[in-house]
A and B are shown apart, each in its own frame.
Chain A
Amino acid sequence: MNKNLPKWVDLGLIPVLTLLLAFAVSGLVVLSIGQDPIEVVKVMLNGAFNPYGIGHTLYFTTNFIFTGLAVAVAFHAKLFNIGGEGQAGIAGVGVALVMLSYDWPHWSIALLVGTIAAMAFGAAWAAIPAYLQAKRGSHIVITTIMFNLIGSALIGYLVVGPMQGEGSQPQSERFPSSASLPDFHEIFGWFGLEFAKHAPANISFFIALIAAVLVWILIWKTRLGYEMRAFGHSEKAAVYAGISPLKITMIAMLVSGALSGLMAVNTVQGDAERLLLGSVEGAGFIGIAVALMGRSHPVGVLLAAFLFGILTQGGAELQFELGIPAQMITVIQALIIMFTGSLENLVRIPMERLFIRAGKGATS
């Protein structure tokens, strides 16, 4: 962003410092609710990394890779997709529809079909806000939030209405067992390795890694990615260069929605094996923090997603061990968004002063 700063400061030091600031303030919050921050960190790390916990940590990481990549892709075209929550939720409907409609012969086929359905439904739910933004100038932040709320009402209707399974629970019928995806215990077993049983991490984790590579290729190695970045950098210049705002906005948001949607393969098909109420659990929003922290780069997103995986699983343990509500994670997430996003200049401006002065000192 700033030519005066060495790259390691811009991409390494500043993100780390802002993250530390966010954690420091989180520590104050912990103190303010009468808990010991050191104890909290211990419980969280133990909860996230014990043999059983790691399976949950990686499961959450998978979700956040998808939603983080989704926000990151949109960010490159200067679009703020805050609708991951709804897109992932509706993608779950898509996954449930195909899984319940046919008994797929093998899990690999079920995975392929589920992936396609998740991407299609996620993208579809992003399409209307994208079109309205491009054609009518409707603010995409507000329309995607509205689509989250509309989506949640729609799912609420489906699980007690047309898609409700047997019994009075607000959920769909359980998917046939052929739709069930191999979990880490099974996958590690293929290679003769051990992994705790009954942990939710499943093969979707590898789909997330593949998605990260594909996003990297899309953004930095294709003409389309170049156009998206150009559009994000300066809409005027991009239009002058013959780039269509409608096309870029639509494509960026469809890709973004499809990525959010993929999360449903992990949650709905991989774990719950049925359509539930509120299965996204805020992962769509955590994607914003992940993308900001990861500087919208797939490598950064992977690292940030893992951090949030640890926080989420560790946070669940906090509730169990210390009785701290799960909202602790929402607070940490908010502080990370705040410090790495809107308050970044708090760190950046002093850094610039420091390094520009140092630079001048060296040359004179």
Chain B
Amino acid sequence: MMDFLTNDLLQLSDSAVRNAIPLLLACLAGLYSERAGIFDIGLEGKMLVAAFAAGAFSAIAGMPIADGGWDMGAWSVWIGLGAAIIASTVFSMIHAFASITLRGNQLISGVAINFFAAGITVLIGQYWFRMGGQTPQLRAGQRFEPITLPFADSLKDVPVIGDIYFKLISGHNIIVYMGFAIVALTWWVLYRTRFGLRMRAVGENPGAVDTAGISVVKLRYSALIITGILCGLAGAYLSLGTAAAGFGKDMTAGRGFIALAALIFAKWKPISAMWATLLFGMLEAIGNKYQTVDLGFVVLPGQFMQALPYILTVVILAGFVGKAIPPKAGGEPYVKER
């Protein structure tokens, strides 16, 4: 039993954290958007295009000049991250232009962005690298490496606490720690700043915000810029911060939608979003570790374990785990009264 706790459980929790990070960042991205009253089912597409930009630019930046690269060594990974954020934010601005300025259908815009991302990443990837839509395998300096936290090595022999510190808390890459920092930051922005108050108000009652002389359009655009940046981080994590070490087509695999479900589950709150995405991360970890699960009376096949996060998403959306009330003005374009 003790062995299970110290080994299997720690290992599972460790992969749960790794799996949760892209979900968490995408979930927080969606939080800014939806709190400001803009539905965003295009999180998936933004993550995907960010993952591609990160993988492609990190690879190019790290290549020797002779091979057409930029020979930037250890800076490559940061070039990749920057490219991911820019690409994702550009997509977010297209969504903003369609939904805020043109007052178009936000769901349709999101769907279009998802398809566009799925197609364009493979097209350009094939044109640049000729690897069937994949980007080259990333080497050291082109991806985010695990960070060993202070004292982790000296504490690792201390029972329980040392194990947890060494195996679970230490040894992740920088985006993982950024993800958790952004949870705290988001909480602070949302509940302790003027911008956060106004953003929450614009998602509930844009008319009142407008009456107070504050620009609804400007607020919503700002929120969607943040959404773009966070989806950029989420996507960059997938290609630069996981064992994939590069971009593969459709590598987001529905994570953008699971993040939306987690957002609903978390009732649009940042701290709850962290717990919700950790839960999904844990499910994914269990599915990966135990390919088939023998319950005694029935053996669950691997495909069932893979579908488990999707099934849980439906269960959560069905409201069997508490009623979720979305921001009131969500999905409705704001038309200024004249």
Instruction: Tell me if A145 and B257 are in contact (CB < 8 A).
Output: yes
Taking the closest CB of chain B, its distance from the CB of A47, in whole angstroms, is 18
List residues of chain A with CB within 8 A of the CB of B116: 330-331, 334-335, 338
Contact of A331 among B102, B119, B310 (CB under 8 A): B119
Instruction: Tell me if B115 and A334 are in contact (CB < 8 A).
Output: yes
B272 in the interface (beta carbon within 8 A) = no
In Å, the complex CA distance between A149 and B313 comes to 11
List residues of chain B with CB within 8 A of the CB of A128: 314
Contact of A138 among B103, B306, B319 (CB under 8 A): B319
Interface size on A, residues (CB 8 A): 47
Instruction: Tell me if A327 and B307 are in contact (CB < 8 A).
Output: no
Instruction: Tell me if A337 and B111 are in contact (CB < 8 A).
Output: yes
Q: Which of A128, A285, A337 has the most chain B CB atoms inside 10 A of its CB? A: A337
Instruction: Tell me if A330 and B257 are in contact (CB < 8 A).
Output: no
Chain B residue at minimal CB-CB distance from A80: B107
Contact of A29 among B109, B123, B126 (CB under 8 A): B123
In Å, the complex CA distance between A150 and B134 comes to 26
Taking the closest CB of chain A, its distance from the CB of B271, in whole angstroms, is 22
Q: Which of A147, A288, A329, A330 has the most chain B CB atoms inside 10 A of its CB? A: A330
Instruction: Tell me if A146 and B111 are in contact (CB < 8 A).
Output: no
List residues of chain B with CB within 8 A of the CB of A327: 118-120, 122-123, 133
* A288-B123 in contact given A141-B41, A150-B307 (Cβ < 8 Å): no
List residues of chain A with CB within 8 A of the CB of B102: 342-346, 349
A137 in the interface (beta carbon within 8 A) = yes
List residues of chain B with CB within 8 A of the CB of A349: 102
Chain B: interface size category: 35 or more
Query: Beta-carbon contacts of B240-254 to A below 8 Å, as 1s and 0s?
Result: 000000000000001
Taking the closest CB of chain A, its distance from the CB of B306, in whole angstroms, is 6
In Å, the complex CA distance between A302 and B99 comes to 29
B303 in the interface (beta carbon within 8 A) = yes
Q: Which of A143, A146, A285 has the most chain B CB atoms inside 10 A of its CB? A: A146
Instruction: Tell me if B301 and A157 are in contact (CB < 8 A).
Output: yes
List residues of chain B with CB within 8 A of the CB of A333: 115, 119
* A33-B310 in contact given A141-B41, A142-B317, A145-B257 (Cβ < 8 Å): no
In Å, the complex CA distance between A330 and B105 comes to 20
In Å, the complex CA distance between A279 and B118 comes to 19
List residues of chain A with CB within 8 A of the CB of B98: 338, 342-343
List residues of chain B with CB within 8 A of the CB of A157: 301, 303-304
B329 in the interface (beta carbon within 8 A) = no
Contact of A344 among B104, B301, B307 (CB under 8 A): B104
Instruction: Tell me if A146 and B314 are in contact (CB < 8 A).
Output: yes
List residues of chain A with CB within 8 A of the CB of B114: 334
Query: Beta-carbon contacts of A138-169 to B below 8 Å, as 1s and 0s?
Result: 11011101110110011011000100000000
Chain B residue at minimal CB-CB distance from A34: B127
A299 in the interface (beta carbon within 8 A) = no
B260 in the interface (beta carbon within 8 A) = yes
Taking the closest CB of chain A, its distance from the CB of B283, in whole angstroms, is 14
Taking the closest CB of chain B, its distance from the CB of A291, in whole angstroms, is 11
Query: Beta-carbon contacts of B88-124 to A below 8 Å, as 1s and 0s?
Result: 0000001001110011111111011111101110111
* A149-B310 in contact given A156-B303, A157-B304, A342-B98 (Cβ < 8 Å): yes
Taking the closest CB of chain A, its distance from the CB of B310, in whole angstroms, is 5
* A331-B123 in contact given A139-B317, A150-B311, A343-B102 (Cβ < 8 Å): yes
Instruction: Tell me if A146 and B313 are in contact (CB < 8 A).
Output: yes
A124 in the interface (beta carbon within 8 A) = no
Instruction: Tell me if A342 and B99 are in contact (CB < 8 A).
Output: yes
Instruction: Tell me if B257 and A142 are in contact (CB < 8 A).
Output: yes
In Å, the complex CA distance between A341 and B264 comes to 26
Instruction: Tell me if A342 and B105 are in contact (CB < 8 A).
Output: yes
List residues of chain A with CB within 8 A of the CB of B261: 142, 146
B160 in the interface (beta carbon within 8 A) = no
In Å, the complex CA distance between A142 and B133 comes to 27
Instruction: Tell me if B123 and A132 are in contact (CB < 8 A).
Output: no
In Å, the complex CA distance between A333 and B119 comes to 9
In Å, the complex CA distance between A341 and B108 comes to 6
Instruction: Tell me if B104 and A341 are in contact (CB < 8 A).
Output: yes
In Å, the complex CA distance between A335 and B102 comes to 16
Query: Beta-carbon contacts of A316-329 to B below 8 Å, as 1s and 0s?
Result: 00000000110111
* A345-B107 in contact given A145-B254, A146-B310, A325-B126 (Cβ < 8 Å): no
In Å, the complex CA distance between A150 and B118 comes to 20
Taking the closest CB of chain B, its distance from the CB of A178, in whole angstroms, is 32
Instruction: State the 9 A-B residue pairs at the shortest beta-carbon distance, nearest first.
Output: A330-B119, A342-B109, A334-B115, A341-B108, A342-B104, A331-B119, A334-B116, A338-B112, A153-B307
21 contacts between A and B (CB under 8 A): A32-B124, A132-B317, A132-B318, A136-B317, A136-B318, A139-B264, A142-B317, A146-B314, A150-B311, A331-B116, A335-B112, A338-B94, A338-B108, A341-B105, A341-B111, A342-B105, A343-B98, A343-B109, A344-B102, A345-B102, A345-B104
* B contacts, CB < 8 Å to A: 41, 94, 97-99, 102-109, 111-116, 118-120, 122-124, 126-127, 133, 254, 257, 260-261, 264, 301, 303-304, 306-307, 310-311, 313-314, 317-319
Apart from the given pairs A154-B307, A325-B123, 12 other A-B contacts in the complex at a CB distance below 8 Å: A141-B107, A142-B260, A143-B314, A145-B257, A150-B310, A150-B311, A157-B304, A334-B114, A337-B112, A341-B112, A343-B109, A344-B104
